[in-house]
Amino acid sequence: MKKTLYLSVVLFIAYTSIAFSQSYQRLGQGVKTITQSIAIEVQFYSPQIVRVLKQPQGNVLKKESLAVIKKPQQTQVDISAQHDTVTLKSSAVEVKLNLKTGGVSFVSAVSGVPLFTEKDYGTQFTHVKDGNEASFDVRQAFILDKDEVIYGLGQQPNGKLNQRGQKVYLRNENTRVCIPFFQSVKGYGIYWDSYAPTTFTDNIQETAFDSEVGNCADYYFMYGGGADGVVTQMRDLTGQAPMMPLWVYGYNQSRERYKTQFELVDVVKRYRALKVPLDGIVQDWQYWGKDDNWNAMSFDATTYPKPQLMVDSVHLLHAHLFIVSWPGFAPKTPQFQEFKQKNMLINFDTWPPGANTRPYDVYNPEARDIYWGYLNKGIFSLGPDAWWLDSTEPDHINIRDKDFDQPTFLGTFRSVQNAFPLAHTKGVYEHQRDESATKRVVLLTRSAFAGQQRYSANTWSGDIRSDWPTFKKQIPNALNFSMTGLPYWNADIGGFFAGNWNRGGGINNPEFKELYARWLQFGAFTPMMRSHGTDIPREIYQFGKRGDQIFDVVEKFINLRYSILPYIYSTAWNVTHNSGSIMRPLYAGFGQDKQGYEVNTEYLFGKSFLVMPVTDKGVKSQDVYLPAGTKWYDFWTGEIAEGGKNIERATPIDILPLYVQAGSIIPWGPKVQYANEKKWDNLTIRVYPGADGEFTLYEDQNDNYNYEKGVYATIDFAWNDKERTLTINEQKGAFPGMITKRKFNLIIVKPNHGTGIETTSPDKTINYNGRDIKVKF
């Protein structure tokens, strides 16, 4: 029987007493008190970030967060008390702690507007067993405004953008990325710092996090004023996202699976022969041989007889290679034997079924060292460019209740389960960085947790079905993931499980062709453009040849992706340098336009593009909402429309509804077969008039970590709409091989004037040598 410890009245003698009120102790940049048998600490980490920590009185807790890496920074906090309320105030946030109830509430220090509040007596600790140890079920309830819209929780495949009215069990599994974080249209975010399975509930009575085990209620309130500001605070709290190499933003081809090294290299050769751009090729599982040798981190001698030749051949073709690695090992592997001997396996079944594979203890630093030792010797020493870390939840099959009682380095598996992908990616990222600074770490992962952005992880949406309803859900999946603070997300273009289409002709099924074409259009406007799946191969030549409709559509959008690489790479720099985001809901760019708050069918790509994927079969047109407050250009025609209304856009198979915000400045790259083929010494700059605008073009050495030492360059562009003047500022910074003289082909986009990927004559061409220049139109 569970015993519940509620907030019940307990008086105590504190360090200083006031006869008519409860007492508290000042603690650095915060306070602590004991109220209703609960020890409470409220502490400012910055003017915008506040930590609230509650635990049963008498508990001795020294918690080191797995996700939070920020230490409290020096912050001016004014603390005062009146009656039974302690008020703590920074320049941004005012916190009120009720000494009678233990409730905490938050107010904007600037406007005085209430932001967020705990529910009265909303903290509950229920005695439970966690394996053989005493623990608590920990629950904290809050009260939100009736019509308040919230985003986040990682990736929940419920098809919803607004997560109000949901009850979600947050436990990582394939296709579900579970992160106990949400942010509100009121401009704040909440991170619940627990790694145990947690139930998030929102109903008309309350909003609550309820973790199955834990020793404390521990959450962080962060105020950012808007979507981008909250993401900035979450990154400040949990870590910044490093730059990925330029090539990874190109087109990446995969399949479940290439079965020999010759097959894999041949795919790259065929793309080069077709002159269709390609930058990445992915080697999926079983390159190690049979399942009893699962994840041996070595190549089977029959199917991959010369792995070094394979890697070198890919590189000679100017492409890059992902290699898959799993967290589980079959008993036949030396890794399994060493981990078993050192008691570093978690004893439950993971993929594949029947092979008796076990995951290693990712929470153990020594185990992570051992894992990398094998990965480095068997694979990384050959020179691949990126890792596909599959099953990072991990897969858990033949589930038994006692599996969650399994011990790990940090406690039971239950207590740290959701942080598995965070710990696993940490090991690979940090070890590769220690091994080499010349090759940026790239991790493609199937799951994530708060803070994982700091390990250069790009998470895909899992092994999803290849159908229209699943495709439609990928948009809110991506946006909620991004609003949780993790900027890099992608999905298997065409969906993973495509076997249902084989009954209708497979690759020749007209509906599958349509679905794939539409999905690839969406993929061109995600942080990683990657085609992958089982049952039906997806390489472009599977769809015929030039002149065949779907081949032409696929080629068109791959080329479009490469045309906007300077825009994408500069947006990636904004992610790293300014805590920005790549995929953003309409609210992120237009916080005053409430009509856009719950739109889950379109999104912003960076700060300039509005994208509306076609996610229904056979549609001839789509109703597109254009946010208020600006004008919008149809990317394909140049037609201008006022924001704040819906417009009908025709959607032939080769058109994705795509709009550009007035005031945008878009750099347009050269036609290439791979990202690094040509320097950006002859760029087209497209200006979309109708509002003032600015853009920063970012360039570096495209790989390595020299940019962290300031080895990069930027060029700021500014458009003055009233004066019709484009200012190109002095180039700042420097790096080896930097372009010092170049041409800019300037186009002022005109209404009803084609602006797609067809050639458009520039209005002016200028020579730029790195110095300020103003161009009048």
Count of CB atoms within 10 A of residue 64's CB? 6
Give the residue among 81, 76, 63 at the shortest CA–CA distance from 220.
63
Q: What is the pLDDT of residue 598?
A: 98
* Percentage, residues of the chain above pLDDT 90: 95
Cα separation of the two ends of the chain = 78
Whole-number Å distance between alpha carbons of 752 and 636: 9
Which helix (H) or strand (E) segment holds residue 54: the answer is: strand 49-56
Task: Report strand pairing: 38-44 vs 30-35.
Answer: antiparallel
* Percentage, residues of the chain above pLDDT 70: 96
Count of CB atoms within 10 A of residue 657's CB? 24
Is pLDDT above 60 for 17? no
C-alpha distances (whole Å) from 119 to each of 101, 140, 144 are 10, 8, 9
Q: What is the pLDDT of residue 751?
A: 80
Q: What is the pLDDT of residue 12?
A: 29
C-alpha distances (whole Å) from 575 to each of 519, 580, 629, 695 are 25, 4, 24, 14
Q: What is the pLDDT of residue 535?
A: 96
Active site members: 390, 393, 463
Q: For residues 175 and 463, is the Cβ–Cβ distance under 8 A?
A: yes
Structure tokens at 250: 């190109």
Q: What is the pLDDT of residue 759?
A: 54
Task: Output Rg (C-alpha) for the chain, integer angstroms.
Answer: 27
Which helix (H) or strand (E) segment holds residue 85: the answer is: strand 85-89
pLDDT digits (tens, 9 = 90+) for 198-224: 999 999 999 999 999 999 999 999 999
Q: For residues 191 and 181, is the Cβ–Cβ distance under 8 A?
A: yes
Is pLDDT above 60 for 311? yes
Which residues, 6 or more positions from 497, have their beta carbon under 8 angstroms from its beta carbon? 463, 464, 465, 466, 533, 534, 535
Whole-number Å distance between alpha carbons of 716 and 570: 11
C-alpha distances (whole Å) from 55 to each of 5, 36, 123, 468, 477 are 10, 11, 9, 47, 34
Q: What is the pLDDT of residue 755?
A: 55
Whole-number Å distance between alpha carbons of 462 and 175: 4
Q: For residues 400 and 384, is the Cβ–Cβ distance under 8 A?
A: no
Whole-number Å distance between alpha carbons of 215 and 415: 10
Assign 14 a pLDDT band (cuts: 50, 70, 90): very low
Q: What is the pLDDT of residue 2?
A: 41
pLDDT digits (tens, 9 = 90+) for 161-192: 999 999 999 999 999 999 999 999 999 999 99
pLDDT digits (tens, 9 = 90+) for 730-767: 999 999 999 999 999 999 999 866 555 555 789 999 99
Buried b (16+ CB within 10 A) or exposed e, 748-773: bbeeeeebbbeebeeeeeeebebeee
Task: Tell me what the pLDDT averaged over the chain comes to.
Answer: 95
> Please, what is the Cα angle at 279 between 711 and 527, to 5 degrees?
70
Assign 504 a pLDDT band (cuts: 50, 70, 90): confident
Axis crossing angle, helix 549-563 with helix 565-578, rounded to the nearest 10:
50
Q: What is this structure's pTM?
A: 0.96
If you ran DSSP here, which 8-state letter would residue 27 be given?
E
Which helix (H) or strand (E) segment holds residue 121: the answer is: strand 114-130
For the segment 107-120, the average pLDDT, to the nearest whole number, is 97
Is pLDDT above 80 for 456? yes
Which helix (H) or strand (E) segment holds residue 694: the answer is: strand 693-699
Instruction: Identify the weakest region by mean pLDDT among 11-15, 501-505, 580-584, 706-710.
Output: 11-15
For the segment 281-308, the average pLDDT, to the nearest whole number, is 98
Count of CB atoms within 10 A of residue 499's CB? 13
For the segment 691-720, the average pLDDT, to the nearest whole number, is 98
Whole-number Å distance between alpha carbons of 384 and 283: 10
Q: For residues 534 and 466, is the Cβ–Cβ distance under 8 A?
A: no
Q: For residues 595 and 613, is the Cβ–Cβ distance under 8 A?
A: no
Structure tokens at 583: 């995929």
Q: For residues 264 and 234, is the Cβ–Cβ distance under 8 A?
A: no
Give me the DSSP letters along 587-630. Answer: HHH-TT-GGGTT--S-EEETTTEEE----STT-SEEEEEE-TTS
Q: What is the pLDDT of residue 758?
A: 53
pLDDT digits (tens, 9 = 90+) for 391-434: 999 999 999 999 999 999 999 999 999 999 999 999 999 999 99
Structure tokens at 499: 């076997």
pLDDT digits (tens, 9 = 90+) for 245-291: 999 999 999 999 999 999 999 999 999 999 999 999 999 999 999 99
Q: For residues 213 and 412, is the Cβ–Cβ distance under 8 A?
A: yes
Q: What is the pLDDT of residue 20?
A: 36
Instruction: Identify the weakest region by mean pLDDT among 2-11, 116-125, 238-247, 469-478.
Output: 2-11
Side-chain-side CA neighbours of residue 303 (13 Å): 16
Axis crossing angle, helix 261-274 with helix 307-316, rounded to the nearest 10:
10
Give the residue among 174, 155, 67, 150 at the shortest CA–CA distance from 481.
155
Residue-range domains of the chain with CATH: 4-237 (2.60.40.1760), 246-578 (3.20.20.80)
Give me the DSSP letters along 139-190. Answer: EEEEE--TT--EEEEEE-TTS-SS-TT-EEEE--BTTBEEEEEEEETTSEEE
Structure tokens at 540: 């472009």
Whole-number Å distance between alpha carbons of 512 and 341: 49
Assign 15 a pLDDT band (cuts: 50, 70, 90): very low
Q: What is the pLDDT of residue 13?
A: 28
